[in-house]
Structure 1
């Protein structure tokens, strides 16, 4: 029975992502973002459960990528598309299409991860859940800066190629995976998790870009030390 627990969590990740997609196209972007967070929760714990229960399987690995390409590929692309089409209007339809480059590059990132043997204790390129959390924070951040409302389409269009680059680049990033729970072996992971938790408690979704920046800085520190 226990061997099915990781796959069940992966399916819940996929299910939550599907609900988020429906909510996005209904225009309920804030609610959709919470279902993406739920997908991220299930995505973290399916791998954690697999390691804890020693319930690894080739099917589980493939299922995880298939679920992620929806929850952390299709969903962020749809989120940016909906934001752009609402801001620019249907007359600027061609300007909204680049949003789905996020979906394409997320799929490339996931395929690369599956065949890249270097990505055990680290990620090469920004992982898709982190990239997606940054994108789904945008509907929460926009109301905080009303003076920038006319600039947001341009900000999003600049963000898209940056995001695509980070997904497939050769830069190393910390993998939030625990082989044990010791402080010495997981110091930067704990700093990231605790720091992010404090930021999110204080600033909610608006803290996510800061948390991603913290993640990038800690990754630079980690791999500069190891170099």
Structure 2
């Protein structure tokens, strides 16, 4: 038995084996941003039930900003991954589905009892379904290029910020948390939920600002500074105006989408008509026609 377990001296120059392959930081950085947004969404739920609605709205707003950043950071650093995509979807469901539903229920929907809880459930589930459909649509390789400028239905971050409109109006002096307005708030929240799962096209703005004319750069800087100053000085007024403008522009986006879809269909039909007809296939059957004279 001693032959099988003979003593030996380890080689000091042998490289140390690593159990796990190191992960580049460019892959970790976007996921850290997503996790930070998730922490803000969970904190917003706590703040909402503690009655600190102003901080809860700020938390969801910052989470929406981080959600818009993490994907761009991943593409910029070339750190996109399947894990990051799944983590982003789960974080969006909590931040823009669960958190707004619970905050709105604590704010006004509980005034109508079980029906208000049903409305909160409808909004949260609609957000989950909308995210699942978005992930499934990413695998469509035949999607025309112009359709990338539009979402199918209202995106989850926009739906969350739009659903919080009664809270914005409350901080502007409108008593939207009264029992009289509770049924209207319920109908509004359910309508936003159905907008998220609908097939109504909404403008995404992904290609906005990719090419900015040189003469518009300085005015763009001044406008951005002015916008930030207004948001900091009058946050709830600016949020309410932004939501109302966004909802008002949805019919314009629908009309524009239909016009582009019609032009795409006409161009496709014209290309099909201009394509040469396929040659008839050679037949192996004998020709029964009589021979010429």
**Range into which the TM-score falls when normalised by the shorter chain:** 0.7 to 0.9
Q: Secondary structure at the match of 1:151?
A: coil
2:51, 2:174 → 1: CA distance? 20
CA root-mean-square deviation: 2.9
Query: Match of 2:120?
Result: 99
Q: Which moved more, 1:170-179 or 1:156-165?
A: 170-179
Query: Match of 2:198?
Result: 169
Q: Is residue 155 of structure 1 aligned with residue 155 of structure 2?
A: no
- How far does residue 223 in structure 1 lie from its aligned partner after superposition? 2.4
Q: Which runs of 5+ in 1 are unaligned?
A: 185-189
Query: TM-score normalised to the size of structure 2?
Result: 0.65
Query: TM-score normalised to the size of structure 1?
Result: 0.82
Q: Is residue 129 of structure 1 aligned with residue 164 of structure 2?
A: no
Q: Is residue 11 of structure 1 aligned with residue 40 of structure 2?
A: no
2:58, 2:154 → 1: CA distance? 21
> Per residue, is there more helix in 1 or in 2?
1
Q: Which moved more, 1:107-116 or 1:196-205?
A: 196-205
Contact 1:73 1:128 in 2 (8 A): yes
Query: Match of 2:260?
Result: 226
1:9, 1:155 → 2: CA distance? 36
Q: 1:35 to 1:141 in 2, by over 3 A?
A: same
Please give the per-residue CA displacement for 1:42-79, whole angstroms capped at 9, x wherever unaligned: 10110110121122111111110000000001011101
Q: 1:93 to 1:148 in 2, by over 3 A?
A: closer
Query: Match of 2:246?
Result: 215
2:202, 2:29 → 1: CA distance? 28
- How far does residue 13 in structure 1 lie from its aligned partner after superposition? 0.9
Query: Match of 1:109?
Result: 130
Q: Which runs of 5+ in 2 are unaligned?
A: 1-24, 214-219, 262-293
Q: Which has the larger radius of gyration?
A: 2
1:68, 1:150 → 2: CA distance? 30
Q: Is residue 36 of structure 1 aligned with residue 56 of structure 2?
A: no
Contact 1:72 1:129 in 2 (8 A): yes
2:205, 2:33 → 1: CA distance? 17
